[in-house]
Chains A and B, each alone.
Chain A
Amino acid sequence: MSWLICLKGIVWREMLRFFHQRSRLFGALVRPLMWLVVFATGFRAALGVAIAPPYDTYIPYGIYILPGLVGMVQLFNAMQSSLSMVYDREMGSMRALLVSPLPRWYLITCKLVAGIVVSILQSYAFLAVAWAFDDAAPPLGYLTVLPALLANGMMLGALGLLLSSLIRQLENFAGVMNFVVFPLFFLSTALYPIWKIQEGSDILADVCQLNPFTYGVELIRFALYGQFDGLSALVVGVAAAIFLVAAVVGYSPSRGLARLKAT
């Protein structure tokens, strides 16, 4: 029972912080909307997207990039959570969490769950606004996409936790944008299908296929159309597990925290 209360408390705090920081919600919506409204509109005429699963007909480019932009919402939320963890650690408020009598791995997992809940809320808010711009998925897709959002949120949230355990100073966080966020997003199928990337460069296509975010986006894409992509689910699940275990090690009293203090 006390474990559930702790989980509820951490999720509740994250939600309160999210709603208090209105600029965060605004930013989370504006960024993908700029891509959807400005970028996709420009490319709509220039870029044709052939029929490929899960689509059974030709689709406008805006529809194609919708799952990628949902992935982007979750990616940026994960990095925002990660930044907030580094800030909490630097400012000291992380200590209040870590001296809880519950096991460290559980507290870290609770932080992850809290981040996932916020990222799902953001994703649905974005999907609702995109729907208003006529970039809509089938109605049932809004329900079937939920497990995919959960899985992708878990993978990206765990990656964010891992990064926060590795970053020693808040100032170093800018590097995360250059070396983690941009490569993850641009070297994926978020903006172009893999066959389109292959037309330009085989190497880039190979890199995209090694990028776990690609599978997160594809998982969302198929789920939005009520389909299950087994390979993507497997890759996302395995990547989430690896990132989470590494993050728990990073926050363990004997390894990560002591190392951070030592520097």
Chain B
Amino acid sequence: MTDALTISKISHAYGKRKALEDVSFLIPQGRFTALLGPNGAGKSTLFSLITRLFDYREGSISLFGQDLGKFPGQALRQLGVVFQQPTLDLDLTVQQNLRYAADLHGLPRRIADPRIERELARMELAPRRGDKARDLNGGHRRRVEIARALIHDPKLLLLDEPTVGLDVPTRKALISQIHELCRQDGLAVLWATHLVDEIDPLHDRLVVLHKGRIWAEGEAAEILAANGGSLGDIFSKLADGEVAA
């Protein structure tokens, strides 16, 4: 089976400052993969390259076997994205935000309308459909963003630190909802985070990014077994610079 995302030897620099160096990893279909790294590890840059906000000059990125550089439109159709920064239009209602997303993907109304209903129901947002985004709390806004990212039925969902600013119960509910999507819909997920408690060490795959390089990649359980200690211990060493890049 083709992998959902294949990243091969990607490097990227802002001027002389290298943000990513020789990064390679893959995301299998239908799996929850956590991208763990301290602040400044290069997670957001990687997301910008995968979503084609920036072009890459070295290496290659493929989504479901399609080269992002050669066929950006086809590749981006497979992709749903939740950015770290809130990207909702606060002056529009929940439903209007979802419709706008459907329009940006060129979905005709007969397809878009049932999908909007489906996502509103799935994210338990139906009673808030007429509320302006600015009237929602942080957790609800995040759910609208996830609903929006799913409106075109992507096969791969990217989430860049989606729980920033949320309280613990909301964070847990969100993580559980995304795991459910993986199990039920076979969605591949790349979840960028710097919070180790968001990773299920028994079931998730893990990619650890440190100073712009891949430090480890594989099943979370295997990485833990190979390095000893807990995810928290490993992350603390990375963040404190006790581990070489």
Contacts and interface: CB of A to CB of B under 8 A. Distances in A.
A178 interface: no
A3 B104 CA distance: 9
Contact of B88 (A93, A101, A258, A261): A93
A16 B90 CA distance: 12
Q: How large is the interface on A (under 10, 10 to 19, 20 to 34, 35 or more residues)?
A: 20 to 34
Nearest to A252: B55
A174 interface: no
A5 B99 contact: no
Contacts of A16: 91-92, 96
Interface of A is mostly: helix
Interface stretch (A6-14, A51-59, A75-83, A188-196): A6-14
Nearest to A94: B87
B221 interface: no
A97 B54 contact: no
Interface string B63-92: 000000000111111010101011111011
Contacts of A94: 87
A261 B48 contact: yes
A217 B231 CA distance: 66
A110 to B, nearest CB: 9
Given A95-B87, A262-B15, A101 B76 contact: yes
Given A98-B53, A99-B79, A258-B54, A21 B91 contact: yes
B106 A6 contact: yes
A6 B103 contact: yes
Given A16-B91, A92-B83, A262-B15, A9 B55 contact: no
B103 A12 contact: yes
A91 interface: yes
Interface string B105-128: 111100000000000000000000
Nearest to A17: B91
Interface of A: 1-3, 5-6, 8-10, 12-13, 16-17, 20-21, 91-103, 252-254, 257-258, 261-262
Interface of B: 14-15, 48, 51-55, 57, 72-77, 79, 81, 83, 85-89, 91-92, 96, 99-108, 148
